Structure 1
Amino acid sequence: MGSGRAMRKNPVHVVATWVKRQPPKVKAFLAVVAGMGLLVFLRLVVHDHDNLFVAAEASHAIGISVLIYKLIKEKTCAGLSLKSQELTALFLAVRLYCSFVMEFDLHTLLDSATLITTLWVIYMIRFKLRSSYMEDKDNFPIYYVVVPCALLALFIRPTTSHNIVNRILWAFCVYLEAVSVLPQLRVMQNVKIVEPFTAHYVFALGVARFLSCAHWVLQVLDSRGYLLTALGHGLWPSMVLLSEIVQTFILADFCYYYVQSVLGGHLVLRLPSGVV
């Protein structure tokens, strides 16, 4: 009977258990292989790769909607990082300014809506739900990311004909977006147990980042590298692509544990040490 039950084990659970036992280097290799497999799948299934960017925006919107529901219905901001929200508002504000003066389009309107909701979240955490804010857990020094991003933007920036200040600001918001989620991951690592709505929100961010990264990678492949040269010369085109990849990998580990928790039927997510 015991062997029969073992044979009927959920194959997904078996694979997840096997992956969990592997050393970090093997896990990293498997993550790269899985990511490449998903890219190939998306390239075959999605004919217009611009739709991937729209899907990324939609996933981000879903994540924000979950966050708003948590704040309004649950009346708590426990487990949320105010610093991550402030970093998000910062890079969105800079990107909006750059969009207005450099390339006003539909994404400018989408960023405007995202900035408004992010500022509302900041207001709720700072004033309305302050008593439930875990300030002691939200201990990631934001200058660890703001200062390096600013310095990097001074040296590696777009080589277009726009004003140099605008080009530096554009590079700054690209770099800052890539690492803006780090304080949120630190909070979850400090808490260890992540409640459902926060986990859903961060997972939606992870999906959005992956789809955005897939959009850029596939666009580069489709244009046979022309897109990179269209962005300018020097290190800037490569840094844009690298920033997209960094965003994805920062959240990859969390997304793995999230999927594992959902498949296991758990209502809360328990993070092991070393995830962040």
Structure 2
Amino acid sequence: MRGSSSSRRAVASASAWFRRQPARVKAFLGVTAAVAALVFLRVAVSDHDNLFVAAEFSHAVGIAFLIYKLTKERTCAGLSLKSQELTALFLAVRLYCSFVMEYDIHTLLDSATLITTMWVIYMIRFKLKSSYMEDKDNFAIYYVVVPCAILAFLIHPSTLHNIVNRVSWAFCVYLEAVSVLPQLRLMQNTKIVEPFTAHYVFALGIARFLSCAHWVLQVFDTHGRLITALGYGMWPPMVLLAEIVQTFILADFCYYYVKSVFGGQLVLRLPAGVV
């Protein structure tokens, strides 16, 4: 008990110190922590391709939390239907690209994730509609779908595949990076996040970081050859940028999640302007 109390006080003190720091210091500390995590993964994981599989597994764990919430607690309060629909959209497009361009283990993982995501959408839309916070889930999805489509048309792979397939590939990469924004907006509107929704979003954050780490470490492992293998022009840096963006979108939430867990709080309370 004493050790637990001491740990909580230490976390609270560190958190209070971190909040007092200027934005530049917070950004520096965040980047330093991310670099340290990348160095650890590079040393600890022998085959960095496994990081992408681990990212898919983390996403699956997050969905498992949703399944438990929807089946056992019989409520979808706090969940964004729009984020689930965006997730289903980019997964469907990515599956199409996988079938016509590159079929591998990720295709099977994406298929399982898409099926469960469609089930979550069905539960929110029909079975548990009365608990859906439609008024809080007010992010207009065309704010992300339209820009992603335009960007995909302008910047896409320079491979020998059909232009439709190349644009589709780029579209799902860009859309995945921002698909969680409606969920973050809903949590911003409610300020209070119940445990299973928080577990789900944190699992997404871990998945995004592992996916980003996979790409960054692959660039180092291939001494930059991966960049040229992706094509030329703006597409290779845009792939890496999309991975980095989707990681940092969830970074702030993950910080407050870890703080809440170490503080022994069952319900996550977000300060204004966090997400």
2:38 is aligned with 1:39: yes
| 1:139-167 residue CA offsets vs partner (Å, 9 max, x unmatched) | 01101100100000011000000000110
Q: CA deviation at 1:24?
A: 2.5
Identical pairs, percent: 78
Q: CA deviation at 1:106?
A: 1.1
Residue 92 of structure 1 corresponds to 91
Distance in 2 (CA, whole Å) between partners of 1:9 and 1:110 is 38
- Counterpart secondary structure, 2:135: coil
Residue 115 of structure 2 corresponds to 116
Q: Report the AA paired with residue 240 of structure 2.
A: L
Cα 1:201–1:8 shift into 2, 3 Å: closer
* CA-based RMSD: 1.4
Aligned residues of 2:8 and 2:263 also touching (Cα < 8 A) = no
Residue 3 of structure 1 corresponds to none
Distance in 1 (CA, whole Å) between partners of 2:85 and 2:260 is 29
Distance in 1 (CA, whole Å) between partners of 2:217 and 2:6 is 40
- Counterpart secondary structure, 2:54: helix
State the number of aligned residues: 271
Q: CA deviation at 1:47?
A: 1.5
Cα 1:8–1:201 shift into 2, 3 Å: closer
Q: CA deviation at 1:12?
A: 3.1
Residue 218 of structure 2 corresponds to 219
Between stretches 169-178 and 27-36, larger displacement belongs to 27-36
Q: CA deviation at 1:45?
A: 1.2
| 1:61-84 residue CA offsets vs partner (Å, 9 max, x unmatched) | 100000100000000000000000
Residue 204 of structure 1 corresponds to 203
Q: TM-score, normalised by structure 1?
A: 0.96
Residue 232 of structure 2 corresponds to 233
Cα 1:9–1:95 shift into 2, 3 Å: closer
Residue 12 of structure 1 corresponds to 11
Q: Report the AA paired with residue 139 of structure 1.
A: N
Cα 1:243–1:181 shift into 2, 3 Å: same
| 1:108-148 residue CA offsets vs partner (Å, 9 max, x unmatched) | 11111110000000000000000000000000110110010
Distance in 2 (CA, whole Å) between partners of 1:213 and 1:197 is 24
- Counterpart secondary structure, 1:273: coil
Q: TM-score, normalised by structure 2?
A: 0.96
Residue 263 of structure 2 corresponds to 264
Q: Report the AA paired with residue 36 of structure 1.
A: V
Paired residues for 1:118-157 under 5 Å: 118-157=117-156
